[in-house]
Every structure is written in structure tokens, then in C-alpha cells.
Structure 1
Amino acid sequence: MPELPEVEALAAFLRTAAADRVVARVEPVAVSVLKTFDPPYSALTGAALVTVGRYGKFLDLVFASADGERLDLITHLARAGWLRWKERQPATPARPGRSPLALRVVFTDGSGFDLTEAGTQKRLAVHLVRDPGEVAGIARLGIDPLAGSFTLDALAALLAESGRAQIKGVLTDQTKIAGVGNAYSDEALWAARLSPFRPAGGLTASEVRALHEAVVGVLRGAAEAARGLAARDLKAEKKLGLNVHGRTGLPCPRCGDTVREVSFSDRSLQYCPTCQTDGRPLADRRLSRLLK
């Protein structure tokens, strides 16, 4: 799933690659991804790309129509979505089919981008609005961890308010902290040497400080590593920078212990027992059920 660093890098890439380009046509291929109807997507025809921004994991392409109206094409790439830039889009209109193509934007110079989604769980969402605040997911977002307001005190208050909620869930709750997903929460908890199942409200002052430094450091490091990369290279760069997430069975790069996994119905988390749980393996709920 694209998280804050990848979405930030996509925004930066598009600000360079597509600045001032004018929309020739918008081709919705998978109608299920369209979450708004007013204004119609045809309103983007003739609009110029002004800038590209980010809200948490939402990518916001800001256009100005011929009469100066602001139009925001906002997408949430969900778990399996991606943006693919092309210097030359096909001349023929896109057709619904078995391809992962969900929506195509073509500029007047022939370039453009595709929004694609792999797999069977169709969660990619596209909104066309006049104000980002009209998107419910954006309106509910919590604090941005790369913003100046994400201070040590702000995190401490958020954790205290979360009580006995597990710290992994707090980090990935978009209404609390915007932009952190499964991968970078695993990475931050590993960096801070914290178990993902620790109650958020039970952390000591030194642990809160370590977590704050880890969250900010992991996200800034990933964003810096992705800076300047083309959209097609971002997924590979993300994998290269991970220490525990997605590395089940491999040695921990810090202590050498074997990275372990806890599986859930639709996702999993990874951690190092020596670094994070005093050497104790966490119960894998899915495996436990299979053994009963």
C-alpha cells in the first residue's frame, strides 16, 4: 500500500512532469472507483494542472478550468492502487476489460497517467471536488506526522487519550495520525524497540520520545530516499528501505534474530523478538486457530 512517503514522492514527481499541462480527456474505465458525480469528470477537459499536493495518503491534483474554477482530482490508492505516468498515451479510448486500468487522464500533448488497481478487492477511490474538505476521508484525518504540529507533546497526548488501544493500531488509525500504514508503523516500532501490542497509554516518557523520533525519522528517511524518483521506481525503493516489514524469516539487521510475523485475516505485521518483545514471540492468531 502506498503510504505517506510514496504519495509525497508521487506528488513531487507530478509537479515536475505534468505542471501546466492541459487535460484533453478523462476516461473512467472502472466506474466503481468514482466516488463523486458533481462536478462531472468531463469538467476537467480543458483544465490545466496547477499543482499537486497530499493529505495523509490522499493524492490531490489541483486543476484550474478555462474559466478559473478550482477542481481537485483526489485519489486514494488504497492497498493495490498505483499511478502510472506515460509520455505517450494511446490515441484510442480505453475500454473496460480485465486489465487493472481504472481511470485514464490524457493531456493535450499526448502524455498522461493511468490509475490502476491490481487484485480483486477494489478499494481505489477517485473524487472530483471543488474543495478537498468535501472528501470525507480527508475531513476526518488526524495530525500529519511530518507537520510542525506533530510535536513530542502532541504525540504524548494522543497516546494518553488512546488508553489501552494497541500502539500498532493507533499509529495506523488515520483519524489520529495521517499517512502511516502497515509498513512504516512496523518500521517505526522496530526503530523505537516497542512491541506492536503495547497499550498506547502505558508508554513511559522515554518510550514516547523514542517513538516520536522513530516515526518522524522513518518517514523523513523514506521520503528523502524517494525524492526525485519516477513513479515507476517508487515501489522498489520502498522495499529496499525496510528493515522488518515484509522480511519474515530473515535476520534482523540490528541484532540478527529472526524476524517474525503475526498474521490477521487480510494483513500481517512483522517484528523482531529480541529488539521489541524481550525475546518472546507474539501469538500468531491465525496460526493458533488453524492448530485448534
Structure 2
Amino acid sequence: MPESPEVQALVDDLGTRLTGREIRDVDVVEFRVTKTRARPLATLTGERVTSAARRGKHLDLAAGTSQHLVVTLGRHGWARYRGADGQGSDGQGSEGDAGDAPPTLVAFTFDDGRVLELTDAGDWVSLGCWVVDDPAEVPAVAKLGPDPAHPDFSRAEFDRVVVGRRKQVKAVLQEQESLAGIGNAYSDEILHAAKISPLAHAASLTSAELGRLFDATVRVVSEAIDAQRGVPIDQLKAAKVAAMRVHGRAGEACPVCGDTICDFSFASTTAQYCPTCQTRGERLPLRPA
């Protein structure tokens, strides 16, 4: 699932390429993508993109004087470009040529011939698009908590949503109403950097642990955004995977202590941790009782 660092890099790319461009055509291949049925995506035809922004894990393309295209990429959504001649953004052929490439669910054609395709590689449609006057009209955006990547994000904001919560801290980190933009992968990385067990409850954290968790949250997210800035959008997912220290690394050596990274089950997915760094050497059951 794309998280704030990848979405920010995508937003930066879209802003550079599309700002000032007129939307000439909108082709909705999968009708379930449209979440504002009374305001279809085709209403953006003829409008010029004025800016691109990130709202948590959502894209926000402003168009014309008052419209916003808000996009949730969901679990498997992403974006790619192609030219009017079918060539991909790298000039080496469309990124959709490969047989295993994710299908295009919506395509926006611009006045320079470039086509922005929104894709979804999942077995069910998780990509969603809204056309609204204010991004806050999208319920998930309206409920977003503070964003750790924002320069004004403070310890006081962090404490308000974490301290005293009778909930596993990993769940709190991923709860978009508490902290915007973090998902399964970066929550694993944050907890490893903070040396905190993924099963620890927020209410049980000591003052020192809370301090480490705040520092790790800001540092991990900010460093990932910096590292992915300028990476071509078709390489962002691979760059994310390559940068992970524990997430997706089960069976490998921890880069800090050398212990073997382990799996455990969290909600409906699998996450990773280092026993030595995070659980005092204890191997957690794969599926906690």
C-alpha cells in the first residue's frame, strides 16, 4: 500500500508535469472508481490543473477555480504516464505493455498529449476518485489526524493521539484519524527504530519510550520522503521495498544487532520485528491468541 513518502513523491511529480495543463478527456474504465456519482470525473474536462497536494495517503489535484480531484490509491492503486503515441514516460514503450502490468481504471488525457493512467493491481477495486469543491468533503480526508511529515508537527500533537491509548501502538500509528500517512510498512520501521514491541499498548509506554517513538516517527517518515524525492514514479515501489530495514525482511539479519527478523500476524496482514531490538529476545507467536 502506498504510504505518505511514496504518495508525496508521486504528488511532486504530478505537480511538476501537470500544473497548467488542460484536461482534454476523461475515460472511466471502471465505474466503481467514481465516488461522486452526481459529479462524474468527466466534469473536469476543459479545466486546467492548478496544483497538486497530498492529504495523508490521498492525492489532491486542484483544477480550474474551485474543483479538486481527490484520489485514494487504496491497497494496490498507482499511477503511470503514456504519450499520445502509446509510449511510456521513459520513452521506452508504455509502462502498461507488460502482460502483468496492472489494469488502467481511469485515464486523463492532457493538452500536450500526455495521458495519466490510474491503475489498480488488486483483486478488488480499492482505487477511488472524488470531484469536490473542498477536499474535506471526502470523509476520509476530513477525519485525518496530524501528519508527522508536516514541518509544524509537534510533540504535543503526538501525545494527544498516543498517550494513554488502550490500543496496540502499531495500530495507533496506522490509524489515519490519529496520524496521517503511515501504514503497515512504515509502522514496522518506526517501531524498530524506537526499539518498541509491535504488541505494546500505547498506554503502557514509559516517558522514555514515548520520546523515542515520537523521534522515530518523525525521522523515519521525513527521511523516507527525502530519499524518494525525484525517484521516477515507476520505480517508487521498488525504492520503498529496497529501503526497508525490517519490513518484509523476515529471515534476514537485523541491520542493527544481527538477530533474525521475524514475522508476526497483525490484523489481516503480516508484519516484521527484531526480537533483540524490540522484544528483549522473545519470539512472538505468529498469530497472537
Does residue 70 of structure 2 align to residue 74 of structure 1? yes
The aligned counterpart of 1:114 is 117
Q: State the 1:2 CA deviation.
A: 0.4
Q: Distance in 2 between matches of 1:124 and 1:213?
A: 32
Q: Which of 164, 167, 172 pairs up with 1:165?
A: 167
Shift of 1:208: 0.9
Secondary structure, counterpart of 2:235 in structure 1: helix
CA contact (8 A) 2:23 2:45 kept: yes
What CA distance in whole angstroms lies between the structure 2 residues aligned with 1:27 and 1:180?
31
Work out which of the residue numbers 185, 207, 213 in structure 2 matches 1:211. Answer: 213
Task: For 1:1-292, list aligned pairs within 5 A.
Answer: 1-64=1-64, 69-88=65-84, 90=86, 100-162=103-165, 164-264=166-266, 266-285=268-287
Q: Is the 8 A contact 2:75 2:122 kept in 1?
A: no
Distance in 1, Cα, partners of 2:270 & 2:199: 13
Contact 1:155 1:208 in 2 (8 A): no
Does structure 2 retain, via aligned residues, the 8 Å contact 1:187–1:218? Answer: yes
- Contact 1:172–1:180 (8 Å) recurs in 2: yes
Q: Post-superposition shift, 1:146?
A: 1.6
Give the residue type in structure 1 aligned to 2:185: A
Structure 1 outlier segments of 4+, above 4 Å: none
Distance in 2 of aligned mates of 1:102 and 1:243? 33
> Given that residues 26 and 45 in structure 1 are in contact (C-alpha distance below 8 angstroms), is that contact kept between their aligned partners in structure 2?
yes
8 Å CA contact 2:84–2:113 kept in 1: the answer is yes
The answer for unaligned runs of 5 or more in structure 1 is: 92-97
Q: Secondary structure at the match of 2:130?
A: strand
On the 8 A contact 1:89/1:112 being kept in 2, the answer is no
8 A Cα contact 1:22 1:107, kept in partner: yes
Task: Measure how far apart 1:17 and its partner are.
Answer: 1.3
Report deviation, 1:87.
Answer: 3.5
Distance 1:265 1:137 in 2: 20
Q: TM-score, normalised by structure 1?
A: 0.90
| Cα displacement (A) at 1:265 | 6.5
Q: Could you tell me how far apart the structure 2 residues matched to 1:109 and 1:17 are?
A: 10
After superposition, give the CA deviation of every residue in 1:84-141 in whole Å (9 maximum; x if it has no partner). 12243659xxxxxx96211111102210211100121221111111110110000111
In the TM superposition, residue 149 of structure 1 has moved relative to its aligned partner by 4.2
Checking the alignment, whether the CA contact within 8 Å between 2:146 and 2:179 is kept in structure 1 is yes
CA RMSD of aligned residues (A): 1.8
Give the match's secondary structure for 1:82: strand
Unaligned runs of 5+ in 2: 88-100
- TM-score, L = length of structure 2: 0.91
Q: Could you tell me how far apart the structure 2 residues matched to 1:183 and 1:138 are?
A: 21
Secondary structure, aligned partner of 1:43? helix
Deviation at 1:147, TM superposition (A): 2.1
Greater shift in the superposed pair: 258-267 or 112-121:
258-267
Q: 1:136 to 1:59 in 2, by over 3 A?
A: same
